[in-house]
Structure 1
Amino acid sequence: MRYCAAREAEVDKKGKTSETLAKGLAILDLLGVEDAGYTLGEIAARVGISKTSAHRYVNTFCAQGHLARDPRSGLYRLGVRTVALALAVTERNELVRVVKPLADDAAKRHGLHVDVGILANDSIFLIYRKDSPDTRAFRSFSYASALHYLAAGKAAMAFLDPGPLRELVGRLDLVGKTERTITDRETLLAELALVRELGYARNNEESLPGLIAIGAPLFSLRTGAVIGAVSFDSSTATYSMKAFEDQFAGYLVELAKKLSAVVSL
């Protein structure tokens, strides 16, 4: 409690957020994306802080149970307290409660992996997943991932207004995940124009070899703004990209409309 109270003093009079707190949360974000874990040096480098600062953060998180350190490898991973918190949110969150029946029904009906994500802070945040036997061998995106190599990310991005979209594409670090990932900004903008024309996006092994997906945008019925996306995933061992798209794109777009009707953001 003393730690939190001290950091609250860093919020300035204009109401800006605490940079110190943001860096601590960035560590949790980082550890949530990678199951293999990170060393202290890797955490410091990726978050952009000194090793001394990183040491203070991870020691605090470990003491509270939010992180755990493997004594043999020295790698840090999410701790049991963070896992328990995530489970509590999943079970009790109103947004998850209204999304779950529709996603579960689609997964059962079509035998597919279904992801539902919300757009925020230049990322797509997973709020619900129903996986399938076809995709369990893959490491799918988690609660915060880059937008440009995901069907859900591209579907959400494509329906932003033109000005904010160009600004967002300019900010993104277009890292290549596979040889098929789009890493050129103008090529990405052209791809997003096609997404708007089709009404859905494609991920043809752009995030992981062997994994394909299609994504459709979710809209706020109150404002009309894009708020997220839903995606269907499968493997190239089961479908070609074209066959997957031809068979399921229509169902996906209809599911997106149903989800938009129940998600109140």
Structure 2
Amino acid sequence: MKSISQSLARGLDILMVIDASPVPMGVREIGRHLELSSAIVQRLLNTLSSYGFVEQDPSTRRYRIGHRSMALGASNRNADGLMRSAHDILRKLADEESLNGYLGAISGDRGIYLLSVPSRRIILRVDAGEPLSMHCTALGKILLAALPVRQARALLGDSPLPKKTEHTIIDPETVLAQLPSIRRAGYSQVREENLPGVISVAAPIANESGAIVAGLSLAYAMGTISIPHDRVVELAIEAAHKISRSLGCTTALIDRWRDERAD
């Protein structure tokens, strides 16, 4: 019989128990499920938390699956086509047009970054799995626009939303009211809502059935690029469409999401 790491095995058991629970779990509750002492469970949770595989609610002190765990599953879906295609396209835009590129998706009850490809003029460096601000980024808004209204409202949460800059919209209903016009346009854009002086544009990425599986955004600091903003919009849409086609989405299906009105 092959030897295994007991600590690693226990850590994986904890992840599976938390993942299977419909609500966050406390240390003692996890211990009872696994027949482990609270001290052992807490030590393992501390390690998992430090790597982002679990997260603790500061008010209840209970644990749920963290952004790193969700990123592993999300980035694995369509990994060969989505991640490779997105990286190559965003790298080219970063090198040639000084545009910062990001890829994001919905995972569980939040949006997360799947990929970050910075230009020489870095405005925001993020790691795969980091949470995405849904209400004040172009990437977040394009992902919301592709969802049923009830799901979009649930993802936004209660008001007031976190205020990042003086231009941030903190009322969820106001953000939701923007989504129909985003769907009609086929892209989203924000100006200084997430970071002062930064503008971003995003477009959705569809799979072979036309379902939106991710979003792509291009961002830049004002006064740092040589092309007009309208061209950035075109580049974002072109890049998202190209990636969608690499996933098997036909031209006829690429814009299907814009006509689907959600309940």
Measured against the shorter chain, the TM-score band is 0.5 to 0.7
Structure 2 distance, partners of 1:171, 1:262, is 37
Structure 2 distance, partners of 1:10, 1:209, is 38
Instruction: Indicate how the Cα distance of structure 1 residues 103 and 163 shifts in structure 2: closer, same or farther if over 3 A, else same.
Output: same
Instruction: For residue 188 of structure 1, report the CA deviation from its aligned partner.
Output: 0.4
Structure 2 distance, partners of 1:215, 1:141, is 17
Instruction: For residue 129 of structure 1, report the CA deviation from its aligned partner.
Output: 2.2
More displaced 10-residue stretch of structure 1: 97-106 or 225-234: 97-106
**Structure 1 position 116 matched with structure 2 position 100:** no
Instruction: For residue 259 of structure 1, report the CA deviation from its aligned partner.
Output: 1.2
Partner of 1:231: 217
Structure 2 distance, partners of 1:172, 1:96, is 34
Structure 1 counterpart of 2:51, one-letter code: L
- TM-score, structure 1 as length reference: 0.64
**3-state SS of paired residue (2:239):** helix
**Structure 1 position 250 matched with structure 2 position 234:** yes
The CA RMSD over aligned residues, in Å, is 4.0
CA distances 1:72-125 after superposition (whole Å, capped 9, x unpaired): xxxxxxxxxx9xxx9xx99xx634323222222233343311112222123332
Determine what percentage of the aligned residue pairs are the same residue.
24
8 Å CA contact retained: 1:124, 1:144: yes
Unpaired runs of 5+ residues, structure 1, are: 32-42, 54-81
Query: 153, 156, 165: which one pairs with 2:143?
Result: 156
Structure 1 residues 135-146: aligned runs within 5 Å = 136=122, 138-142=123-127, 143-146=130-133
Instruction: Indicate how the Cα distance of structure 1 residues 248 and 171 shifts in structure 2: closer, same or farther if over 3 A, else same.
Output: same
- TM-score, structure 2 as length reference: 0.64
Structure 2 distance, partners of 1:189, 1:210, is 24
Instruction: For residue 3 of structure 1, report the CA deviation from its aligned partner.
Output: 3.7
**3-state SS of paired residue (1:231):** strand
Unpaired runs of 5+ residues, structure 2, are: 31-40, 250-263
Structure 1 counterpart of 2:214, one-letter code: G
Instruction: For residue 263 of structure 1, report the CA deviation from its aligned partner.
Output: 4.2
Query: 108, 112, 115: which one pairs with 1:125?
Result: 112
Q: Tell me the matched-pair count.
A: 211
Structure 2 distance, partners of 1:173, 1:218, is 29
Instruction: For residue 163 of structure 1, report the CA deviation from its aligned partner.
Output: 3.2
Structure 2 distance, partners of 1:15, 1:159, is 27
8 Å CA contact retained: 1:99, 1:263: no
Partner of 1:66: none
Structure 2 counterpart of 1:139, one-letter code: L
Structure 2 distance, partners of 1:116, 1:226, is 13
Structure 2 distance, partners of 1:101, 1:10, is 33
**Structure 1 position 168 matched with structure 2 position 174:** no
